Amino acid sequence: MNKEIIAKITEVDFPNRSTVEIEGKKFKFKGGLLGQEVKLYKKNRRKLIYKNVEKLSPLETEENCKYQGVCGGCTYQNFSYEDEIAYKEEMLKKLLRENDIDAEEFYLIKSPKYKEYRNKMEYTFGDEEKDGPLALGLHKKGYFHEVVDMDKCLIVHPDFDKVRIKTREYFQGTSFYNRKTHEGVLRHLSLRRTISGEMLINLVTSSQEEIDIENYVKAMLELDLESEIKGILHTINDRMSDAVVKDELHILYGRDYVVEKLMDMEFKIGPFSFFQTNTYSAEVLYTEAEKILKDKGDYLLDLFCGTGTITSILGKNRKEALGVEIVEEAVDSARENVELNGLKNIKFIPGDVYEVVKELENMYDIIVVDPPRAGIGKKAIEKITEFGVENILYISCNPVTFVEDIKTFRECGYKEKSVHGVDQFPRTNHVETVALLYKLNTEHHLDIEIGEDELSEIDFSKDATYGEIKKYVLDKYGLKVSSLYIAQIKRKHGLIERENYNFSKKENQRVPNCPEEKEKAIEDALEHFGMI
């Protein structure tokens, strides 16, 4: 039987890992806040499992959200915003110092808004308790298959709650899609809202049942909102993945996009477009990027460009800018946006960054990289640095993978000149970082020979192979897990950002979901190898 322990958190690490000391030994676990007294289960001599909070941290001086600790969305709702910024800044400084990244001039820039700032939310249909009424909200903290049916969320505009609550009421009695049995119809409600008040509603369902969609549109249009509903969409998704993707898209009312204004430019944003979730802070981020790159060059290459926001903003006053993105729909949107803004000097091409950079001409003097949470990776960095540009701007939504990539850039002859943080995600444990890397003068740096003995002791990567993960799970739990299951759990934790396009061409192909027992075993392996 697991032994129950109450201990005080004495150290914290980014993004949300805590340390307690018990009988002279330190234990790390996911969750918790500095100064909290928490209840833990001692699973074995090396592992503690976080259960709940027994006593709040001295930093938790406010009671802003009654769902704090229950909803998996926010971490710092009980902090003042000043304390939250200081807390995040100290964790990031520690992360940078521990990875030998110069953090002396590091600072974290606040978001102009820390309430009602998110421009997009994806809510999930489910039940808060078994056989209870239909719920529509965010995932419960620590329980992926359970939904928190909140009545108010503080990080979105109140119109989000009005649309969500009315949608929940309208569909009471309709089945929700069960992510274990893969049966049911209601899946997600995805909402977007621009600063000017344009709103896009996207109802995501399976095709397993017919629903009264016509009267749902009427119910939405009758709502008393500050926003102007520009489009109501119905997406049909019959895939087993929980991601909001489309098999079919139907425009029920209006159009399938909203127009956001950012830094004197306009951007059309569709239901599946990538766009910074905090428009207010995005302007701060891009202003910082412009300041860093001032007078740094005339030819800009933007890798992982998404819908081309950064390419357009940083490239509009240069001779030429090129954006590269693997998702063709995003490239189509990017091209549409440069046309919308009358930019003739900006181009986009679709393709995998690693493959595209092999073919591009070496004409650029600035490279911008803004990769997904999993980072860039060693092979792509090696190709990127072959361009030999003087300056590389790295924008990252995941400082943990950012520091690993910085080490690879160093191996390839680059050094960080400045590193700053931008709080794109107030109240959550996420932070954006932006760094300028410059090319070292190799004539003034030494080549050092490393012998085979020393080389064998160097850990070049914390990423375990699929084979290593399988062996760990088999040795520890006696379970055999497939590469498919490992990929599913890696995607769940943001280690794989995009869908695998190599789907079977067979009709109605069903992909099995990872069983809960194997999911926990794989998560333990990922944690063991330092990947989460």
Choose among 351, 195, 161, 192: nearest CA to 273.
192
Rounded Cα distance between 75 and 68, Å, is 7
Could you tell me if 323 and 347 are in contact, meaning their C-beta atoms sit under 8 angstroms apart? yes
Please confirm, yes or no, whether 397 is among the known catalytic residues.
Answer: yes
What strands lie across the sheet with 391-396, from one edge to the other? 108-109, 414-422, 432-439, 391-396, 366-369, 299-303, 320-325, 346-350
State the amino acid at position 110 in one-letter form: K
Taken in order 466, 471, 477, 480, the sign of the CA dihedral is: positive
Choose among 269, 239, 243: nearest CA to 257.
269
State the amino acid at position 530 in one-letter form: G
Could you tell me if 472 and 525 are in contact, meaning their C-beta atoms sit under 8 angstroms apart? yes
Cis peptide before 371 (omega within 30 of 0): no
Q: Is 166 exposed, middle or buried (0-12, 13-18, 19+ CB in 10 A)?
A: middle
N- to C-terminal Cα separation, the chain: 27
Binding residue numbers for S-adenosyl-L-methionine: 276, 304, 325, 370
Binding residue numbers: 276, 304, 325, 370
Element (H, E) at 330: helix 328-340
Element (H, E) at 198: strand 198-205
Contacts with 501 (C-beta within 8 Å, 6 or more apart), sequence order: none
- 106: tokens are 């590091």
Rounded Cα distance between 39 and 55, Å, is 9
Rounded Cα distance between 471 and 477, Å, is 10
Could you tell me if 180 and 168 are in contact, meaning their C-beta atoms sit under 8 angstroms apart? no
Rounded Cα distance between 426 and 134, Å, is 29
Q: Checking DSSP bridges between strand 3-13 and strand 37-42, what pairing results, if any?
A: antiparallel
DSSP string, 211-267: --HHHHHHHHHTS--SSEEEEEEEEE---SS-S---SEEEEEEE-S-EEEEETTEEE
Catalytic residue among 65, 74, 305, 397: 397
Which residues does the annotation mark as catalytic? 397
